[in-house]
């Protein structure tokens, strides 16, 4: 076999993870997202980590905050930390879960993460390229227009009585307030 049994097992886990994470389990009738027991356990473990990190109640979380270069006095209370963790969970769900009846996530497969199947589709690549080309064309048009009009604008920039004949800074009298 081309792959060892460990590599095959790892690939099996990757496929299983991708299927579980990308499947849209949102129930529009109840407004709930249904997750598997394994995913719920993982979510609780991650939530516990973030709550501990943002509330900084022990030495290990203080050390981790220092390692992450968090401001040491910007500690959240328990409720705010739970709400922030819920926001992280929701944004992670939206970034990897497929839209209903579609094969791209709610964030159009962004950020890029091949492990969970977040890779750009052909249409995303095409529209990104078109957007970049339009941006460059717009910048090019602005530069062309400015270069074409610069001489016309420069004529109107000369002061009505002409430019100064001497440098005002060299003849200035310095006062004590200066």
Q: How far apart are CA 155 and CA 142, in angstroms?
A: 20
Point out which residues pair with 118 in neighbouring strands.
Answer: 113
Q: How far apart are CA 50 and CA 91, in angstroms?
A: 15
Quote the pTM value. 0.68
Number of other residues whose CB lies within 10 A of the CB of residue 25 = 13
- Three-state SS sequence of the chain: CCCCHHHHHHHHHHHHHHHHHHCCCEECCCCEECCCHHHHHHHHHHHHHHHHHHHCCCHHHHHHHHHCCCCCCCCCCHHHHHHHHHHHHHHHHHHHCECCCCCCECCCCCCCEHHHCECCCHHHHHHHHHHHHHHHHHHHHHHHHHHHHHHHHHHCCCCCCCCCCCCCCCCCCCCCCC
Please report the pLDDT score of residue 3 as a whole number: 65
**90: buried, middle or exposed (CB in 10 Å: 19+, 13-18, 0-12)?**
exposed
**For the chain, which residues make up each domain, given as ranges?**
5-119, 121-162
Block means of pLDDT (10 residues each) for the chain, 178 residues, are 80 92 95 94 96 94 93 91 96 95 92 91 93 99 89 73 84 80
């Amino acid at each position: 076999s081309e792959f060892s049994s460990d590599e095959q097992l790892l690939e099996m886990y990757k496929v299983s993870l991708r299927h579980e994470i990308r499947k849209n389990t949102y129930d529009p009738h109840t407004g709930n997202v249904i997750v598997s027991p394994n995913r719920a356990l993982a979510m609780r473990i991650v939530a516990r980590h973030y709550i501990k990190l943002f509330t900084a109640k022990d030495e290990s979380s203080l050390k981790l905050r220092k390692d992450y270069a968090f401001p040491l006095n910007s500690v959240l209370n328990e409720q705010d930390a739970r709400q922030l963790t819920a926001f992280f969970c929701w944004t992670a769900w939206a970034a990897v879960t497929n839209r209903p009846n579609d094969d791209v996530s709610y964030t159009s497969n962004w950020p890029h993460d091949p492990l969970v199947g977040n890779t750009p589709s052909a249409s995303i690549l095409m529209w990104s390229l078109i957007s970049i080309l339009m941006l460059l064309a717009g910048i090019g048009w602005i530069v062309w227009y400015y270069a074409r009009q610069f001489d016309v604008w420069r004529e109107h920039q000369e002061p009505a009585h002409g430019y100064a004949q001497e440098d005002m800074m060299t003849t200035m009298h310095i006062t004590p307030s200066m």
